[in-house]
Chain A
Amino acid sequence: MNSMTSLSKYLPYIFEGSLWSLGLVLGGLGIGFMIGVMFSLIEVYNNSPLKKLISLYIWFFRGTPLIVQLFLFHWSIFPALGIKSTPLTTSITVLGLRSGAYQSQILRGAIGSIEETQMLAAKAVGMNDWDAISSIILPQALRIALPQISNEYSIILKDSAICFILGVMELMTRAKYTAIATGIALIPYLVAGLIYMGLTYIGTKLFDLIYLKMKIPGSVEG
C-alpha cells in the first residue's frame, strides 16, 4: 500500500517525461524535414557526386538500428569531433539525422509523382529553377507527402523511447526509474504506454487537420 501511495507521487514525474519525449519527436521531425527537403531536391534535380554520398547516408541511417546510431554518435563520433553533447542533444540530433534519411525518401517519391509538365509550365512563365521548385513543386509535393510525414511522426515518437538508453529524461526513462523506486513495474509502464498512445492519437489527428486544410479543392489526391 505504501508503494502505491508513493507511486501516485511519481505520476506527475512520468507525465513531465512526455514533454521531453515530445521535444525529442518535434526536434527530430523538424531536423529530419530540413534534411529530407534538401536531400530529396538534390536527388531529383542535381546530377552531382553528392547523390552518391546521399545514398550512402541513407543506407547507413536506414540500415543500422537506432540504438547503434545513438551509441556511435554519443560515445565515438561526437567525442572524436570534439563536440560536447548531452544525452538530449545527441538524441535529438540522431533522431533528426535518421528521420532525414526516411523523409528524403518520402519527399523524393512525392516530388517524383508530380507531372513534369508542372515544371515545364513554371519555366514557360519565366521562373528560374529555384522559383519553380519553391513555389510550384514543393507546395504540391508537401501536400502529397503529408500523410507519410504524419506516419513518420508516429514512428519517431516510439523510436524516441530508445533514447532512454542514454539517460534522456523522457517518458520511458522516467517510467523505468519509477518502477525501480516503487517496486511496481506494471503501472508505470502502463501509464507510459497510454501516454504514447495518446500522443500518437493527438499528433496524427493534428496532421489530419492540416491535411484537410491544405487539400486542394476539387482534387482527388493531395
Chain B
Amino acid sequence: MSEEIVLRVKDLYKRYENKVVLRGISFEVRRGEVKVIMGPSGTGKTTLLKCIDMLVKPDSGKIWLKDLELTDPRIDISEARRKIGFVFQEFNLFHHLTAIKNVMIGLTKVKKLPKHEARTIAERSLLKVHIGRELWDKYPAQLSGGQKQRVAIARALAMEPMIMLYDEPTSALDPQLTGEVLEVIKELAEDGMTSLIVTHEVGFASEIADEIMIMMDGKIIEKGDPKNILYNPQREETRRFFNKILRIGGGSR
C-alpha cells in the first residue's frame, strides 16, 4: 500500500426527504488499500458508495478522486466516473448485450476505442474474473448469478479504474455462488486493486481488509484493522452487530 491517496471523502451529508442517511462521513483510501465497510442494513452504506460515484448527489461535503474534486459541479462527471469501477448488488448487466459486449461497450462508447482493441481488453478482463470463452457470447439471462456478477466486475475492470467500489457484491447470490465472486475480488485486491467494499461476509472481510469501518445510522462509529474490530471492538454497538450477523450467518467462512 502506498501513501498516495486515491479517494478522499470529507464530511459527507445526505438526506432523503426527512430521513438523514449520511451524517458527516470522512475517510481516505490509499492506493492499493482494501477498505471494507460493514454495518446493519439501512445505515447508508449503499448511499455512501453511490455518492462517491456521484450516482446520488450528496447534500454537502466533498469527495476527491486523487486531485479531482468529484463534488465540483463544473467537472464532467461522466469523464470522472470511468475512473471509478462500480459493482452493484444486483449486477445490473445490460440485458440486451452478450457478456463480452457488456464489457466492451464502455470501451467503445466511452473510451472510443476501436472494436478489435476493445475486444482484446474485454477478453483479458473476462479471463481475469474466470469467465471462460464459452460464456462470452451468452446473454445475462443465460448466466448464473455468480457469472453475472463476475462479468459485471470485468465490465468495471476493463475501464482501468483507479478504485473499485463494491456494493454488497454477493448479497443477491445463492450461498454456493458467493465463493466464486469473493475469490475474484480477493485476487484483484491481491493484485493491488484499490478497493472499497461494502459486505456482510465477515470471514471474507477479515481476510481481505486492510481496515474495516463500521457504519451505523449514517456515521462511521469505529474503524481499525480486522482483528481489532472483530475480536476487540471498542463500541458496544459493534459487538452487538457482529454477534447478530455471526449468529444469523452461522459464523465466518
Interface residues of chain A, those whose CB is within 8 Å of chain B, are 115, 117-118, 120-128, 131, 135-136, 139-140, 143, 216-219, 222
Contact A127 B88 (CB under 8 A): no
A222 touches B90 (CB 8 A): no
**Chain B hits for A121, CB < 8 A:** 86, 88, 92-94
Q: B141 within 8 Å of A by Cβ?
A: yes
Task: Please classify the interface of chain A as helix (H, G, I), strand (E, B), loop, or mixed, using the class held by over half of its residues.
Answer: helix
A126/B78 contact (C-beta < 8 A), A216-B141, A217-B141, A219-B139 known? yes
B55 is an interface residue with CB less than 8 A from chain A:
yes
Q: Given known contacts A123-B81, A124-B55, is B110 in contact with A216 (CB within 8 Å)? A: no
Q: Which residues from chain B contact A115 at a C-beta distance below 8 Å?
A: 92
Question: Is B92's CB under 8 angstroms from A222's CB?
Answer: no
Interface pair A131/B110, CB less than 8 Å apart? yes
Q: Are A222 and B96 in contact, with the CB atoms below 8 A?
A: yes
B residues less than 8 Å from A117 (CB atoms): 88, 90, 92
A128 CA / B139 CA spacing, docked (Å): 24
Contacts of B84 in A (CB 8 A): 124
Partner of A118, one of B78, B81, B94: B94
Partner of B155, one of A125, A135, A216, A217: A125
> Closest A-chain residue to B109, C-beta based?
A131
Taking a contact as CB atoms under 8 Å apart, the answer to whether A139 and B159 are in contact is: no
Residue of A124, A128, A135, A222 near B95 (CB, 8 A) is A222
Q: Which of A128, A136, A219 contacts B141 (CB 8 A)?
A: A219
Residue of A nearest to B79 (CB): A126
